[in-house]
Amino acid sequence: MSPVDDRSASPPSPPASEAQALQARLVSIETKLAFAEDTVEALNRTVFRQQQQLDLLQEAMRQLNGQLQAARSASGDPRHEVPPHY
């Protein structure tokens, strides 16, 4: 008798129930991955919109600060002015 070469034989296939369990697990993982990808995309859009809003608010604040500085320099120091009711 000659020895049997196990290297050329295909690996034994898992029992049907185990294959079904692995298939179900794979589907579950793929589903979770798809939901995670959707969530990440939604979060990216939200962060992008919030950054745009933040940029607009910062620009508005710079403009208001410039207007405030211009008003202060045009009217002088209000601490040294006499209130109008005196």
pLDDT recorded at residue 36: 98
User: Average pLDDT in the 48-54 region?
Assistant: 98
Instruction: Give the per-residue pLDDT at 75.
Output: 74
Render the burial of 10-23: b for 16+ CB within 10 Å, e for the rest: eeeeeeeeeeeeee
Q: What is the DSSP letter of 5?
A: -
DSSP string computed for 34-75: HHHHHHHHHHHHHHHHHHHHHHHHHHHHHHHHHHHHHHHHHH
Q: What is the model's pLDDT at position 84?
A: 76
pLDDT tens by residue, 4-42: 555 566 667 767 899 999 999 999 999 999 999 999 999
pLDDT above 70 as % of the chain: 76
Q: What does the domain layout of the chain look like in residue ranges?
A: 16-74
Is residue 47's pLDDT more than 90? yes
